Structure 1
Amino acid sequence: MDVGAEVLELLLAGGSREELDAVLARAHPAAGTDGGPGAAGPSATDLAWLRELAHRLQAQAERQRSREAELSALYETARDLTAIRDLDAILAAIVRRARQLLGADMTYLSLNDAPDGASYMKVTDGALTPEFRRLRLPLGTGLLGLVAQSGAPYFTEDYQADERFLHREYIDTAVEGEQIRAILGVPLMVEGVVIGALLAVHRRVRPFPANEVTLLTSFAAHAAVALENARLFERARAAVADADAATEALVARNQASERAAHAHDLLTDTLLHQGGVGEVAEVLAEVLGGAVEVYDDAGRVLAGPGSARPVDVDDAVGEALASGRCVRTEDGSWIAVAAAGEEHLGTLVLRTDGPMGLPERRTLERAALVTAMVLLFGRSEAEAESRVRGELLVDLLGTRRLDPVRVRERARQQGADLDGALALAVARHASERAGQRVVAGLARERRGLGAVHEGQLVLLAAGDPRELGRELQDRLDGATVGVARVEDAVGGVASAWHEARRTLTVLFRLGRTGEVADAATLGLARLLLGDNGPEQVDEFIEQALGPLLRYDAERETRLVETVSVWFAASGSLRDAAEQLHVHPNTVTQRLDRVGRLLGDGWREGSRRLEVQLALQTHQLRDLM
């Protein structure tokens, strides 16, 4: 095979320049001097021409292969733009391929922060230091900042020595840390606006041929497309999300409106069928979910489980009364007020984990309005019933003789039970109307009678007098109450009224407000009122000395005698001990026990006088 054919074969096989030169060198010794017909091979001139031609063909093939690689990389990048939705992944691939094709030591991409007037590193490939990856350059500073500001490509064979660029110490320090020398930078453009820059660097001094500038510009164009596609994709995704959110909001609003309409129908039906606050609470719990409690204006439970009320419920009630809207408490409960004008009738407390948008809050407020109407209807009925019950009680309080059979029939028609042991309680209240509602309600609960008579609240019901009085006192927020036992359901009510009313008067005059008392607990004051016989005297002694008398009788002690001697000795322990023939410490111990039996304060004031008088009366009764 001649040398020409061998060179062609080598070029087709992609041989290197060194291999090509070796083939030509082997052919050179056989070459003739002039290349004439008698020569053994090609002349030196022919070989020189063949070498130059082969080198040109080889360089063209290399350029072709390089171009093919570039086009392939650009094609793959373009394909990635349609296949990858992750912007960071796309940019990283662009930077990595640019570095590979340009044979650069490092490539990086920056994005402009227009409000801050700077360009910051977004993606790097081949960086050595973390400081460089976080670098942020003011626009116009350094090569990157100049490209990002001007929108034109720039390159330098040796950045550190190039005075065309504005150098900053911290930037040069970062560049030195990366050992950067040659830099090529091209802009990222979207619709004529510079949004960043793409750069390739070498850690040695070298020029950048035009084909490398063109190639990096192509990659920058793809990066810009990726950024724009990502922006459009994000905008489309946000639009879809907004549409989905709007649809969900519309569906939720429709569902809330349907629930509100359903609640309105249920509440209206409850009102039309004269349902109570319990039915209103059940409807509200069903519609809004959670637990509902209803309290009256005094804080007593009318419906619901009656768990602990929110700590700040009073503040919430005040705010709700002022605004006419429901209010949320600190523990997450919702408060709505049932009111008639400015009058607070009741409070609704809703505890729920469900949504409480505007429709739900309006449903709660509508339930509060229905509750107010139910309470007003109930009040009207109670007042009408109270008038009927009150008429019967007023008749019993009078002096006119009544037919027992007729009285019991009237009581039965009103749901009152006058059989068994009855008690009468009398009290006063600042608001006669409010007090009348309390008395009427308690009378209805206890199957008794209640009325306002001569400015006093009167309650007649079965049970222990003091127990009845304490219950009435609690309903009236600590009122003073006089009570008496009713001996006869018809003829004895008037005398019990007289005794309970007189007891109430004495309590006020003695300053014992806020107490519940019957005549027996008035002590000496009762004896001074007159109309007392042996039975009342015995009750006075029992009230003042009963615990001591029983203790002495059961244990054969001398507590009553000790107290009597101590009083006679003017409170002197020594004198009392001499008369009792015991040690003074014994007297002290006995008096301490007396205090535990009679209670604190028996040696002071009116209690002391009552105990002394009771001792003397007891001694006189023993002599009779």
Structure 2
Amino acid sequence: MHDDVDAGTRLLELLATGASAAELAALDVDPHARDLAVRISGAFDVQRRREQQLAALVDTAGELASMSDPSVVLDAIVRRARALMGTDVAYLTLYDHERGDTFMRATAGSVSAQFQVVRLAFGAGLGGLVAQSHKPYWTADYFADARFRHTHSIDGAVGDEGLVAICGTPLIVKDEFVGVLFASNRTPRPFTHDEVALLGSLAALAAVTIVQVRAVEESSRTLAALSEATERVSQYAAGIERAAAAHDRFADIVLEGGGVDDLTASLTRLLGGWALLLDVDGAPRSVAGEDPPTGQALDDLTARAAAGIDGGRLSRLGDDWAIGIAASGEPLGSLVIGDVSPMDDSDERTVERAAVVTALVLLGERNRAEARQQQRTDIVAGLVSGHGDLGLLLPAARSLGLDLHEPTSLLVVLGPESAPARSLVLGVSAALGGSGLVGEVDGHVVALVPGSEPGSAAADLAQRLLRNQTVTVGAAGPVHESTHTVAADLAAGLAAAHTEALRTAEALVALGRRGDGAAAADLGFAGLIVGTQPEVTAYVHSILGPLDDYDNARGTDLVGTLEAYFLAGASPRHAATRLHVHTNTVAQRLERITRLVGDGWQSPERALELQLALRLRHLVAAS
């Protein structure tokens, strides 16, 4: 018995000093104990390799946050950027606090010594513009791009490297700018929005490493506790391996541009059971795993999660678990898991880290969505203001699916006064199904949609949005760019259409037609007041056309009879006197008028329209 204890002690001592598997295998001890020690040593080796990888990420995050040299981790990032982006060169610059510029720190694929030591002042070159604005920029042909301030030193270095197409995105850690990550080609190449987003995800690696600091510390504490017992060693090793796998998977998801569905699916693969991501309103955003709750069970769980979540820590909800997801104090939702076996500390930390990474992904998605919508708003505002540069705005609109060479209707959407314009913009975009461009202009929502029937487009949009909220839609147009249209005419037409559509929407509200949609021409004589360019002749024809056509075809004078009738105070007898005909003749003509314009033409509203058309007919004839 004493010999067994000594052998066991010796095995533990060797494990504690990091003995190799060969050294353990050479001991003359119980085979089962020796085999178990060899397995534990192997687990140590695997864990050491995992720690080296995780430590590299932690070092990267720490160095970036403290503005120190990013070391070999930055080289790994640019190599990954070059491989994932499929470019000739990738490189990274860091911000120099003392000099107020950025300097080249890491490159992959670079061959120019001049390029590898270049410095970029804020606002100079593409990289300087990214550093100054904290926004991504990209160009298919750097030297031909006038958006950037070209300098001799920067252009010389770029030319020496032979770069043509460049994409740069800012590197941000906790809202603090630390540098720029680039991917570039030696031949012209347009970068897609997905590629720009992918490069942005790679830049987010620095933030992800900070999330993993606690994991490395917890892994170290777990390893220190392995000396307590052989069984405990196995348990901790398994837990550490799960945590390391979680870190690896979460980091890969962010690097590969994955979304919340990938995160919840990974969590269920790690822990089993099901995972449910709820948004701030308690609605399911992502579901993974087997047999997640539905119906009333889901409603009950949502209510319990809202009441039982304790900040950013994992909380027990009966047999389930929940954790809040937030960023900078702003709640973004909650993560709920269930049908899992009893979780140890490592499992709980894995869920907490999953919540942190989920917050990062949600913020990234929201920022990208807001950036895309801001781009659309800028384009719409530039087009309808009449002051935008159409040479830039029209190609940008075409790249987003709106070609102003084709007839385009302009819609103005007025929602409830309490409704935020941003949420109405999102609602209109969803209702249009991605057709056209939607933006916010002067506090109201404007949509530019393909089509030559603005009134129909307005009515259809109002009807679609009626399911969620009451909106009023005014329309104008169509406008379009033709070979005979100069830029000034198109700009003026868009500005006029915007004014007319806004007046039409306000007129609909004033007429008690909230929740409706129409163009000025659809409002009858009210449209003559609303429209910026009233179509008087078209209006007169729409009212009196059937009578004019009848008179022209048969040589009669129904229009004159109608006018005499109204001038005579709607008296057939007095009208007959005016016309020097018998009263029965007037009565017969009035019956003919009724058949042509329809019953009810003598009602106050119809009579007003007819009399207005008769007056305008004289004005048109005299002009």
TM exceeding 0.5: no
Report the TM-score when normalising by structure 1.
0.39
Bigger Rg over Cα: 1
